[in-house]
Every structure is written in C-alpha cells, then in structure tokens.
Amino acid sequence: MATSGFEGFEKRLELHFFGDDPAMMGNNLGLRLLDFESLEQVLSAVQCTVVSAVANHYFDAYVLSESSLFVYPTKIIIKTCGTTQLLKSIRPLIRHACNLGLSLCSCRYTRGTFIFPKAQPSPHTSFKEEVLYLEDTVPDNLCYRKASVMPSKIANHSWHVFTACDESHIIPDDRDIYTVEVCMTDLDRASARKFFLPPGGGNKSGDVAGKEMTKITGIGEINPRAMICDFAFDPCGYSMNGIHNDRYSTIHVTPEDGFSYASFECVGSIFDDDDIEHLVGTLRRAVQVFRPSSLSVSTTCASHEVWPRVARALDPLGLKCRSCAADEFPSAGSIVFQTFTARRK
C-alpha cells in the first residue's frame, strides 16, 4: 500500500429543502435557479471546479474536478474526493437557498474510510471533527440527529453516517427512493490501465478522451438508457454522470497502482419495477468493469426490498459477502452496509 497518493474515497452530502411560497419556486425550478456564479462560489469553498455539465427536464448534473454535483429543485447532492472540504459548502448553500425562499429540512453526510486520513484538511481530519462541524453548521430546527460508524470485517472499510432533519421530515418524503453507493478498492490492473491517457494522448480534451474511455471500458453499457456526461483527467482518472429521467448514476476512478479505487452510485424507486429489475444487472456490469479485490456497498432506503439483491448481483462475479451491518437514521430510513471480497482461487 502506498504511503501517500490521491484520495479516491469520496465524501457525500445530500441536502433537502422546502419552500412555502410556490411563486418563489419559479416554475418549480427551485434550486435550479441558482446561477452558475453562485455554484462556483460554493465549489470554491470546497476546493473544486466544474469541468463538464449536462441537464434534462428534472435536474442538472455537473462533473467536477473532484467528482460530482447534482441539483434538483429541492435537493442538492455533492460528492467530492481528494482533499476537498465538502462540509464548507453547507453554509453558502443554505444562504443561496434562503434567497430563493427555500429552507433546509434534512441533511445526510456519508463516507467510507479514507486511504490517506492524515492528508485530510479540517474539518475532515476525523469523523469526530466532521460531526462537531455538522452539529454546529446545520440549523437548530434540524433537531433530530444521529451519527454512527457502521463497522465491517474488512480492514479499512467502515461507513460513516450523519443525518439531521426537522420534525416533519423524520420519515423522508421520497421514501420510495433508494440510493446504492459502491466503493471498490484494489482494482484489477488491466482494468485500471484503461483509465490512463495513452502516451502522446495528452493533447486530447478531457471530454473527447472521456468518451473514448467510456466506450473501451464498457461503462457505456452499464445503463444503456442513460445520457452520459464523461471526462478523462491527465495523466489518469475518470469521472462520469449518467442521467435518465429523474435518476442519476455516477462513476469516479482513481486508477494508480497501490491505491486504486473506483466508485459507482445509482438511485431508483422501489415502486418502479423497471428500476428493481435493472438493479442486479446494472450493479453487476458496473463492478465487472473494475474487477476489484474488495468492495463495500451502502444501500439507503426506507424499505428492505433492495439490499438483499446486492449479494445476488455480486455472487456470480466471485465476490463473497463478508459482513453486513444495518441501522436506522432520521430522514434517511434504513442504511445497510455490506462488504465483499474476491474468493481465493
């Protein structure tokens, strides 16, 4: 294991807002009315920038220099890797939302275990510091709060969760929605090499090189229904957002040997038979692209219909479930954290 390198494990923040005045929602655009300059100010506090973007009728999706940003009318999701200071986005986002007549009603922060924890800046030097910062930052009306570290039987794989919400959002409004977050480590070397720019290929734009990586790696086949916005970094690394109706998926790759990492995240609805049917195949295809030695999967959902399908998706790939932890969180519902390792031949 390398003693230092780029931190692949992302920090993820999901903020939900509500507004009482329909006129302030601007044709139901809500947070999508935030101008690009305001978003840039928020991202500047986090220490990252926008490198590519795509949108549809439902939401805006941005590929960042360090991961992704999704903006819905009443929801924002920011996912950043490296040494970004993600939690510093909360105060400016609350302020910008207030100008649109929107108030924060729930907050969820999640992350895995950093490969290089000593490289993290404040307020991310430890989970304790992150929780103290969150407690101090979220408004007092978000009084239902919980912080937890979900353990596993794999070294350096645990799941850190903080949620907070007001009284009316203890049970989430979108309780049919599930979120699946996959963190993969020790990627197959041949698979990881595909995420390096070829010698002399550095003069291609990140967009052009990204599209080539999407094609040669098979990422474009993970969810053929999705419109993909992709970007390749120089000399290595890759990010993509996929959008399909009001659903997103996202992939981020740090391919360097010794600390290789890839993440895959997707959302769906338990009431949509199409989503449930596709989940097993989608998850299997995503993991197959990277062929990791170990991975963790966090499933967030108000029901228990989704997480049992994870093992069903991964077992044919020779990945054995090593541990499973579950807990309940205000405004998030149930979070199930599973870890898997490749079976020894």
Q: Which residue has the tokens 């993909």?
A: 228
Q: Of 74, 32, 36, 24, which Cα lies nearest the Cα of 55?
A: 32
Q: Which position among 158, 239, 296, 298 bears the catalytic label? A: 239
Beta strands in 56-215 (DSSP E): 60-64, 67-71, 75-80, 103-111, 144-150, 159-165, 177-185
Q: Of 101, 119, 134, 128, which Cα lies nearest the Cα of 13?
A: 134
Tell how strand 50-55 and strand 75-80 pair up: unpaired
CB atoms inside a 10 Å sphere around CB 94: 18
Adjacency order of strands within the sheet including 11-18: 50-55, 60-64, 67-71, 75-80, 11-18, 103-111, 159-165, 144-150
Q: CA 51 → CA 63, 124, 240, 249, distances in Å?
A: 6, 24, 11, 17
- Give CA–CA dist 78/159, Å, rounded: 17
Q: CA 169 → CA 24, 143, 172, 198, distances in Å?
A: 21, 11, 5, 49
**CB-CB contact of 183 with 263 (8 Å):** yes
* 233 marked as binding residue: yes
Q: Which position among 16, 52, 81, 331 bears the catalytic label? A: 81
Q: Which position among 16, 52, 65, 67 bears the catalytic label? A: 67
* 66 marked as binding residue: yes
* 305 marked as binding residue: no
Q: Which position among 124, 229, 252, 266 bears the catalytic label? A: 252
CA neighbours closer than 13 Å in the CB half-sphere of residue 16: 19
**CB-CB contact of 289 with 191 (8 Å):** yes
* 6 marked as binding residue: yes
**Is 252 annotated as catalytic?**
yes
**Is 293 annotated as catalytic?**
no
Degrees, nearest 5: CA angle 263-267-273: 130
Q: Of 140, 138, 141, 122, which Cα lies nearest the Cα of 130?
A: 122
Q: Which residues carry a binding-site annotation?
A: 6, 66, 233, 256
Q: Which residues carry a binding-site annotation for substrate?
A: 6, 66, 233, 256
Active site residues: 67, 81, 239, 252
